[in-house]
């Protein structure tokens, strides 16, 4: 059984989690509380975007391009999502299909958590401290629900796996995109529902986050797709790429300045701006 968090302990999805995290960090500084040294403050989605770029698995709408706002305040580097004007699908029909899939996902999450209205869905807002080599990171994340045993769970929706091609795409690409955010935030389980082409629920499966890499490799080998599962065979590649990007920012970002970190077609650039909206 999956249950939502009580509403008075959570915030709705539309809130800016990054700003809440930055504000909390500033309040700790003002109150002179003892706290660890944090090199980076950000949302798990931003780190996921960087990691997936190592495999060319950017988001459906980014078209191999993304931008992040970067600033340094009191010694800690803040990384925020940057919405490019006019972003999204250029094709109106593709954009409509994308929005339809988002709505199906919300409806499935509401179904799993027994919410009557998908628009009123509540979530856990969590802050996670972790370390990647020499980089200390404090990240925030919205987690969809918790299981009846108390463990947090991310809820996702995917196309039904009817053919070998469907299974190959899911285990080699789609599951990787779902797994990385859960792995980063230490969410132990991912509940994935499967739907048909018009959004009707077909089945679901719970994946244990730490077991996903081996499970995906086994499924791909069984389907004789071993030549395409490079990402699961070389997971340290995406972590190393994230570490390289974070070290690059530590070397280049100066206190009080604004930067735009942009990745496009394999090229990473950092541009200092007078201000970023």
Q: Per-residue pLDDT tens, the chain, 277 aa: give them.
A: 455 444 433 344 434 667 777 776 666 655 556 667 899 999 999 999 999 998 877 655 555 688 999 999 989 999 998 876 545 555 678 888 888 998 999 889 888 887 655 555 567 888 899 999 999 999 999 998 888 888 999 999 999 999 988 998 899 889 999 999 999 999 999 999 999 999 999 999 999 999 999 999 888 877 665 455 557 878 888 999 999 999 999 999 999 999 999 988 888 899 998 766 6
- Backbone CA torsion sign across 185, 119, 99, 204: positive
Query: Tokens in use for 214?
Result: 């081996």
pLDDT at 262: 93
112 and 2 in contact (C-beta within 8 Å)? Answer: yes
The arrangement of strands across the sheet holding 189-195 comes to: 2-3, 145-147, 152-159, 189-195, 201-208
């Amino acid at each position: 059984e999956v249950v939502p968090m009580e509403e008075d302990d959570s915030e709705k999805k539309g809130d800016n989690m990054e700003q809440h995290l930055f504000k909390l960090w500033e309040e700790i500084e003002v109150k002179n509380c003892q706290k660890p040294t944090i090199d980076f403050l950000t949302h798990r989605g931003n780190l996921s975007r960087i990691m997936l770029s190592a495999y060319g698995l950017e988001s459906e709408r980014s078209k191999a391009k993304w931008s992040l706002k970067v600033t340094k305040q009191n010694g800690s580097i803040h990384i925020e999502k940057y919405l490019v004007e006019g972003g999204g699908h250029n094709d109106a029909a593709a954009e409509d299909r994308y929005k339809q899939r988002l709505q199906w996902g919300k409806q499935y999450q509401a179904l799993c958590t027994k919410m009557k209205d998908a628009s009123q869905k509540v979530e856990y807002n969590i802050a996670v401290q972790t370390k990647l080599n020499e980089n200390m990171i404090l990240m925030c994340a919205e987690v969809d629900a918790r299981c009846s045993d108390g463990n947090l769970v991310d809820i996702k929706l995917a196309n039904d796996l009817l053919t070998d091609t469907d299974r190959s795409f899911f285990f080699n690409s789609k599951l990787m995109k779902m797994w990385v955010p859960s792995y980063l935030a230490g969410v132990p389980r991912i509940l994935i529902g499967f739907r048909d082409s018009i959004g009707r629920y077909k089945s679901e499966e719970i994946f244990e986050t730490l077991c996903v890499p081996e499970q995906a490799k086994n499924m791909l080998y069984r389907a004789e797709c071993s030549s395409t599962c490079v990402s699961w065979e070389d997971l340290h590649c995406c972590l190393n790429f994230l570490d390289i990007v974070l070290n690059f920012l530590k070397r280049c970002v100066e206190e009080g300045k604004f930067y735009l970190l942009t990745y496009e077609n394999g090229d990473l650039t950092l541009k200092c701006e007078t201000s970023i909206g």
